[in-house]
Amino acid sequence: MSGISALIKRHRLTAFFVLAYALSWWAWILYATGLSPNPIASFGPFLAAIVVLALTEGRAGIGRLFRRMVRWRVSPVWYAVALLLPGVLAGIAAALNILLGAQPPSSEQLGGWPGLIPTFALLLLVPGIGGAWEEPGWRGYAVPRLQRGRSALVASLILGVLIAGWHLPLMVAGQVHYSDIVLILFAMIVVNWVFNNAQGSVLIVMLLHAANNTVSGSFFSPMFSGADSLRQSWLLALVWGVMAVLVIAIAGPKNLSRKYHRQEEPSPDRMLEAERSIEPLGSAPEEQRETPTAQGKE
């Protein structure tokens, strides 16, 4: 056991991603036997983060992750972005789809919008339903470490490739189109823009993920079928791509923010030095240690 722990400590990010896949893809067995509706256990990345943190940083590391998950003191602007942006982008894609010849949704389909509220609550609060509970792993653990020594844009692209691969069982099962590979790559840039500007709040990103799965996955996308459904998925990827380009142009690739430095976890050596030192009295708590960039406000 000590040998495994030492190996994980030397390769923390690699261990996290291997575990994230393993603790998620086991659900394929249940799916293949008809015991589960999904071939992926979406809370796998969260469990992977807990395991790796427990073996490498102990209670302190797990505590930092949980604090990110309940970090609610964020500008109201980012709550609005998290809750409204997915619906705006999905709505634009649906409108373009109809303009290109897709069958317009029926009044009955459009009238189902009140059901979005309980669906959103379910996807946000229940682990394993939807994707919100992926975020403590992807954003809470992986992003602050991927962004250490890399630009936020490069970190987003690396994460996008790995998350796209993680979604492959859903594509093989036909639950999502392969266009989601492109969509995920673009979406990672936009989501990390929100994460860095929300001062590393995993809560905000969980809200965004739940809102996207609710409005796009449970409302707009089911309105289309056949070729119209495939076109909708590619248009959705296109719209997220345009949004990603705007984010890079406006916020900059280095931090994906004009106000804050990208979120980074200190290296293991620096963390060890910090644990051995005595923190000066009156120092700011973790939530307030944000380093504004010199480029102005978002």
Tokens at 76, concatenated: 């109201």
Q: Where are the alpha helices (DSSP H) in the chain?
A: 2-10, 12-25, 27-32, 44-56, 58-69, 76-99, 107-110, 116-125, 135-137, 143-146, 152-166, 168-172, 180-197, 202-212, 226-251, 268-276
DSSP state letter for 113: G
Separation of alpha carbons 167 and 183, rounded Å: 12
DSSP structure string for 187-222: HHHHHHHHHHHTTT-HHHHHHHHHHHIIIIIIIIGG
Report yes or no on whether pTM surpasses 0.85. Answer: yes
Q: Coil, strand or helix: which one is 174? A: coil
Residue 45 Cα to chain centre, angstroms: 11
Phi first, then psi, for residue 171 (nearest 5°) are -75, -45
Q: Residues 21, 166: contact at Cβ < 8 Å?
A: yes
What does the pLDDT profile of the chain (298 residues) look like in tens digits? 577 888 899 999 999 999 999 999 999 999 999 998 999 999 999 999 999 999 999 999 999 999 999 999 999 999 999 999 999 999 999 999 999 999 999 988 898 889 999 999 999 999 888 899 999 999 999 999 999 999 999 999 999 999 999 999 999 999 999 999 999 999 999 999 999 999 999 999 999 999 999 999 999 999 999 999 999 999 999 999 999 999 999 999 999 999 999 999 887 666 556 555 544 544 444 444 444 554 444 4
Question: What burial class does residue 13 get, using C-beta atoms within 10 Å of its C-beta: 0-12 exposed, 13-18 middle, 19+ buried?
Answer: middle
Q: Residues 68, 140: contact at Cβ < 8 Å?
A: yes
